Amino acid sequence: MKIEMHVHTSEGSPCAKADAESIVRTYSRIGYDAIVITNHFDNKLLKDFGRTNEERIERYLLGYKKAKAVGLKYGIKVMLGMEIRLEPHTEDFLIYGIDEEFLLQYPDLCFMSQKEIFELCHSYGAVFYQAHPFRNPCRPQDPRFLDGVEYNQRPDSGNHNEKLDAWIRDYPKLKLISGSDCHNLEQAGYGGIEIERDVSDIKELVRLMKNTQVKFIGR
């Protein structure tokens, strides 16, 4: 099963240039079985999404919901994830294993510390990874409060994965995942993970991520 772990849609991430249906159609065409929509979740963006927390969360989820609705049409599974930025920092993190109820219950995630959000994710059965930790201006964050880090494979993005290879040797308990960090159709399909069996939903995928080191696509 080929799964893209890091993809954006224009409905949820204004920096993305491809809408949800185009993303789903493209990943289906190039042979992926599932994608995880990880639209940006940060304070500046959310303030433009509505006046109330409910309005903001509903607007945030628009890209995911549109993608999921057309997933059956294109024969591809669509799951919910998140790329979050914690105030006032510039680092990005990926969360897997949450759902809509979690977002409505914790709309102020951006104002938590790394430790707080890591512990909250674990209490919910989710996992917390740092995205592209060596892409300027990002720096690797406290490994005690990470489940793993992303080997970001979007081309020409200054990811410096050679530095990640060296850094992670000191933290063998951290897991690695891969993602394309796709914002437009030309960036689709450079990364992701490959597993030998089908998974039904994001919760099952997270259980697998906790217990194994997944195989990368494109490496």
Number of Cβ within 10 Å of residue 21's Cβ equals 17
pLDDT more than 90, % of the chain: 90
Sequence-separated (6 or more) residues with CB below 8 Å from residue 70: 20, 21, 24, 25
Q: In this predicted structure, what is the pLDDT of residue 122?
A: 98
CA atoms within 13 A on the CB side of 198: 4
Give the pLDDT mean for 47-68: 94
Structure tokens given for 129 = 């990874």
Rounded distance, CA 177 to CA 129, Å?
9
pTM, two decimals, is 0.96
Closest-CA residue to 43 (of 90, 114, 141, 111): 111
Domain count, the chain: 1
pLDDT by residue (tens digit) across 60-99? Answer: 999 999 999 999 999 999 999 999 999 999 999 999 999 9
pLDDT tier, 147 (very low <50, low <70, confident <90, very high otherwise): very high
| CATH number of the CATH domain containing 208 | 3.20.20.140
Distances (CA, A) of 67 to 71, 107, 181, 187: 6, 22, 16, 17
Domain around 107: 2-216
Q: Looking at residue 48, what is its pLDDT?
A: 87
pLDDT above 70 covers what percent of the chain? Answer: 99
